[in-house]
Structure formats: structure tokens, C-alpha cells
Amino acid sequence: MNYRWFLAGIIFLLLIIQVVVSNRISTSGLEINRLQEEIEYANEENRILNEKIASASSLLVLKGKAITQGFAKNSIPLYLSSDLPVAFDLR
């Protein structure tokens, strides 16, 4: 008998909890919608920024900027040999 009362009490408590929780979250659809819109907006912004970064770091763009800023290709590189001249070789 006590066991049945105990079970009934648990069920009643769970019902109350369900009503309270459902009541609380039933109006959070608005918040969910707002958050989803924010996520989408952030994702879109990310995409646009990634596009801008890719564009700005494009070799063709960098080449164009280098030319306008007066950089020129060095056609005669100067090589510093790793071998010392005999006079400097102290071994």
C-alpha cells in the first residue's frame, strides 16, 4: 500500500515538473529563432571575410601591389658562398 502511494507521488511530481519545464521553454521559440538568425549572420560574415582574406592574399593582387609600390624583380641574385676563401680558413 505504501509502495503504491510512493509511486503515485513520484508520478505526480514528474507531471508537475513536466508542466513547469514545458511552460518555461514553450515561449523560447522566439529566442531560438533569434539565435539561429545570429548564427546564420555570423556564418555569412565569416564567409565574406574569408573571401576578402583570400582575395587580399592572392598572388596576383600582391604582385600588382608590389609593382605599384615600386618593387622590381632582382634578375641578378648575389650568392654568398658557404665556403670560406682559403685565407680565412683557420682550420
Partner 1 sequence: MLLYLAIIIRLFYWQVISGNQLAQLASDQYFFNLTLQASRGKITASDGSILVTDKNAYLLYAETKNILNKESVIDKLNETLGLDKQSLISMLDQKNAVWIPIKHKINESEFEKIKSLDLKGIGFAKENDRYYPESSMAAHLLGFVGKNSAGEDKGYFGIEGYYNRALQGKAGSLNMEKDAKGLPIPVAGEKRIPAEDGQNLELNLDRSVQLIIEEKLKQGIEKYGAKNGLIIVMDPATGGILGMASEPKYDPIKYSEYSEELYQNPVITNSFEPGSIFKPIVMAAALNEKRIDPKTKFNETGPVKIGEYSIKTWNDKYNGELTATEILEKSSNPGMVFIAQKLGKNKLLSYIQKFGFGKKTGIDLEEEISPDLRPNDDWKEIDLATASFGQGIAVTPIQMIRAIGAIANEGKIMEPQIVKKITDNKGKVIERKPKIVSTVLDKSTAKILTEMMISAVDKGDAKWAKPKGYRIAGKTGTAQIPVAGHYDEKKTIASFVGFAPADKPKFVILIALREPTSSPWGSETAAPLFFSIIKDLFSYYGLSPQD
- What is the contact surface with partner 1 in residues (CB under 8 A)? 22, 25-26, 28-30, 32-33, 44, 47-48, 50-51, 54-55, 57-61, 63, 74, 77, 79-81
Q: Residue 57 has what DSSP assignment?
A: T
Instruction: Specify the residue, 1 or 76, whose C-beta has the smaller distance to partner 1.
Output: 76
Shortest CB 18 distance to partner 1, Å:
10
Helices (H), 1-58: 2-25, 29-56
Shortest CB 1 distance to partner 1, Å:
36
Shortest CB 27 distance to partner 1, Å:
9
Taking alpha carbons only, the member of 54, 73, 56, 53 closest to residue 65 is 56
Tell me phi and psi for residue 89, to 5 degrees: -80, 110
